[in-house]
Amino acid sequence: MKKEQLVLAIDFGTQSIRAAIVNQKGNILALIKDKYDEPYFSTHPGWAEQHPEYYWEKMVLATNKLATKHPELLKQALAFTITTFRDSPVFLDENFVPTRPMVLWLDQRQAAIHKKLPLIRRILFGIVGMTETIKLNMKRTPGIWVRENEPEVWAKTRYYMNFSTYITYRLLGKYIDSVPNQTGHFPIRFRSGKWYGDNAMKNIFQIPVDKLCEIVPPGTLMGELSAAVSKETGLPKGLKMYAAGTDKGSESIGTGCYSNDYAAISYGTASVINVANKRYVEPETFLPAYATSIPNLFHSEVQVYRGYWTVNWFIEEIATNESLEAKIELLATEEVLNKKMLEISPGADGLVLQPYWGPTLKRPEARGAIIGFSDFHTRIHIYRALIEGIAFALYEGLQSIEKRQRKRVKEIRVSGGGSQSDAICQITADIFGIPVKRTQTYETAVIGTAMATMLYLNVYDSLEEATKNMVHIDKTFIPNQDNHIKYAYLFKSVYRELYPRLSAVYKRLKKFQ
């Protein structure tokens, strides 16, 4: 019998951290999961900040628990990788000490853009219809905001990095990170795996390259843990650390989406649909495909920025009765809502929701909208319309990806909190009209990270082989064709018409604010 191969995967989520030992069959043999006491704090409305040291301390607690509870398994780990949430910059001075709290991807502040792009670049972006998208991306770049509003902090900031880079520095003492981890508001060329120059046409983020880290391809051995770090974390001295990728990318790989026959949906705080391609395929014109933790594999991705965050919004703002009912029955409020949702017919009896509680890259002025209200609609109708609206938005994104890759996908794989609901998975199958499959664990980012590490170690020769051995289907949801016909009509005749007809109204609302 072949010797069991074990790796360590550390997953920094937005709400919690996981440290797991995984074998080559995709079995999680040990898992420490700790929820953050305070995922972020807000000193102003819409801000989301955290001290980067907080996450390091939570990781140290998790890895020491793992070392205490499963010492023998940890000793057998061949190597480890980390995966983290994306687009969350950390600001450090010349001594690698934070100059201010980090800014999380949830943060909604926007810069004024005092420093404009050169005129020729503005003209060219205008010609291709990207002016508003470029403006939004610049406004949402935390480095630009800090430079404008906290110049003294920016002057002290010698190093500007994604959160994953900070954790890597704390682990290895090196200012280094993988190419995939630069997803977000960083001047990265994913196709070539290099930084854009300071004056490059597509470098709109105004972050000097000399503040950024050394970037290496996924699968690069970045270093080994020192005796000091081993003592602090409980992890074995000399344990090898490889460069990997982000949480969303890891989730996709962990559900078994290794080719463009499959689409991966993450029903998380941000909801995402992506498709893996061996060639660089932009999901929409001028929007990048992202590098993944697998060398020479790219994800064409469309994101619903607030995604299943809106479910929490609905629970806090509207579902008071269901929250009380859930407490009495010792259930999660989502379970009560999902059960009641099934009493409503597909299409929420004519209620249709556009889930843009946060702007999208291609639709920077978009807002959330609900149409079709009648006197018989209830809050459960609104809830079902919300679930359907998120799926509609992802379905629209998939159509764009399929058009650009010139191939239709055959199957959906789901992950994230929303995927735990059979009702939501079935609605997804009915809207997309193709089978939806859920895998053996909800910890798909952990599995995806472990799969990548197995490939780096040559335990498997290909991602397809790793997928066959480490990803196992738990349940399949076959689309109800009658429901799909109803959804297809709503999508084509109603949902898809909402943004074009409301875009001018959204612009006037933006001007009003």
Whether 259 has a pLDDT exceeding 60, the answer reads yes
* Contact present, 252 and 448 (Cβ < 8 Å): yes
Whether 2 has a pLDDT exceeding 70, the answer reads no
Cα separation, 80 vs 61, in Å, equals 17
Position 269 scores a pLDDT of 86
**Which sign does the torsion angle of CA 328, 334, 338, 341 carry?**
positive
Whether 96 has a pLDDT exceeding 90, the answer reads yes
* Contact present, 255 and 264 (Cβ < 8 Å): yes
Taking Cα atoms as reference points, which of 294, 284, 233, 230 lies closest to residue 83? 294
Tens-digit pLDDT profile for residues 388-430: 999 999 999 999 999 999 999 999 999 988 999 999 999 999 9
**Residue 380 — pLDDT band, cuts 50, 70, 90?**
very high
Tens-digit pLDDT profile for residues 276-295: 999 999 998 778 999 999 99
Position 133 scores a pLDDT of 86
Q: CA geometry: angle at 47 spanning 42 and 51, to 5°?
A: 60
User: What's the mean pLDDT in 173-180?
Assistant: 98
Position 1 scores a pLDDT of 39
**Count of H helices and E strands in the chain?**
18, 23
Q: With helix as H, strand as E and coil as C, how does 4-64 read?
A: CCEEEEEEECCCEEEEEEEECCCCEEEEEEEECCCCCECCCCCCCEECHHHHHHHHHHHHH
Taking Cα atoms as reference points, which of 301, 297, 293, 252 lies closest to residue 274? 301
pTM: 0.92
> Based on C-alpha coordinates, what's the Rg of the chain?
23
Q: What is the amino acid identity at position 167?
A: I
Q: With helix as H, strand as E and coil as C, how does 157-186 read?
A: CCEEEEHHHHHHHHHHCCCEEECHHHCCCC
What whole-number percentage of the chain has pLDDT above 70? Answer: 100
Tens-digit pLDDT profile for residues 154-169: 999 999 999 999 999 9
Own/partner long-range contacts of 425-430 (Cβ < 8 Å, ≥24 apart): 425/475, 425/477, 426/477, 426/480, 427/346, 427/387, 427/388, 427/391, 428/265, 428/391, 428/477, 429/477, 429/478, 429/479, 429/480, 430/346, 430/479, 430/480, 430/483, 430/484, 430/487
Position 450 scores a pLDDT of 98
CA torsion angle for 471, 473, 474, 479 (degrees, to 10)? 140
Label residue 113 left, alpha or beta by phi (over 0 means left) and psi (-120 to 50 means alpha): left
User: What's the mean pLDDT in 3-28?
Assistant: 96
Tens-digit pLDDT profile for residues 305-327: 889 989 999 999 999 999 999 99
Tens-digit pLDDT profile for residues 39-66: 999 999 989 999 999 999 999 999 999 9
